[in-house]
Amino acid sequence: MAPALTTRSAQASPATDEVLKHVRLPPGFEIEVLVDNIPGARSMALGDRGTLFVGTRGDKVYAVSGADSPSAPTVHVIARRLIMPNGVAFRDGALYVAEISRILRFDGIENALTEPPAPKIVRDDFPKDRHHGWKYLAFGPDGKLYVPIGAPCNVCNEPRYATIMRMNPDGTRLEVFARGVRNTVGFTWHPKTQEFWFTDNGRDYLGEDVPPCELNVAPRSGLDFGFPYCHGKDIPDPQFASLGDCRKMTPPVLALDAHVAPLGVKFYTATAFPPEYHGQLLIAEHGSWNRKRKSGYRIVLVRLEGREALSYEPFASGFHEGNKVFGRPVDLLVLQDGSILVSDDAAGAIYRIRYTLH
């Protein structure tokens, strides 16, 4: 790893300048600031016309237009006074937004960025708990809309929670897809097998280095991934293990480092990066909050062969130095030109990473 080649765009602020100075990437890669005026930038989705939609854990949803134009992109606020609108997904000209307890739909949004339409309510019967209540949102290859319900606690046994749900785009036929998932804030589908891959944040207060966070795969619906009974591949929970049979739970594909807070996860489906990246997995590790020595604060590459993880290595590191934090990666998005976007809710920014040696 080497200091990243950086491009200081006109959008760069002192906060993002610090990120650009410290981020380290493999040789040949370059990072630049796309925009840095989106406070709390979290999940991202791309519209049919190239508009970038960005959710937050505040009360606003943003749209970025002109990301590929020679001039600076334009940032629009398209929704206000929402409750932690973290999740965004786009389908058939409409933007779907996940608040804590409801999912909204903004029809024809790319035609109305300056005067957004009033949203329609898709569903409004999700739990109102704020603890792990912020939701990721994405459409699967089956046309269903997937949304998690995080556990409202560090560790507890609440059957309505710790699930991944799915529904029709109009909100009908809501069903449980997976159980035993403490708090997933990122999932995706394998580009060839269409299997469901997701990250999960491990529980706290068992130790500095246990339990691990997780990378999981659900080749079908109906699987249980262990929470709250067991963690990682073989760690029984001291309070709840006796209530479940860990032998019947689905273990993770990969035990990630403890407390790294893995969020966004994407397969690299383009071809602009070198061949060794094609079809491999990138994960945004948001970073620990209560570990004495900070962990995460980076983007990692997981090389796969089928469902087996062959390696787990840094791709973009340097978002922290000791106890000083410069940025916190949240979500990833692979663009058509082969670059990737990275959201950072600490700096309120979106970065673009390109490969420049061709």
> What average pLDDT does the structure give for the chain?
95
Q: Largest Cα–Cα distance in the chain?
A: 60
Task: Give pTM, 2 decimals.
Answer: 0.96
Q: Which residues contact 327 (CB under 8 A, 6 or more apart)?
A: 15, 16, 18, 19, 23, 297, 319, 344, 346, 347, 349
CA dihedral sign of residues 262, 266, 272, 276: positive
State the pLDDT at residue 2. 58
d(Cα 355, Cα 44) in Å, to the nearest integer? Answer: 21
Q: How does pLDDT run across 110-138, given as a tens digit for each residue?
A: 999 999 999 999 999 999 999 999 999 99
- Residue 13's pLDDT is 72
pLDDT at position 8: 45
- In angstroms, the CA 281 to CA 4 distance is 20
User: What confidence score (pLDDT) does residue 12 get?
Assistant: 61
Residue linked to tokens 């739990």: 127
pLDDT of residue 72: 83
Domain boundaries, the chain: 2-284+295-355
- In the chain, which stretches have pLDDT less than 50? 6-10
Distances (CA, A) of 156 to 10, 165, 262: 47, 19, 20
How far apart CA 57 and CA 63 sit, in angstroms, is 15
Query: Architecture of 2-284+295-355 per CATH?
Result: 6 Propeller (2.120)
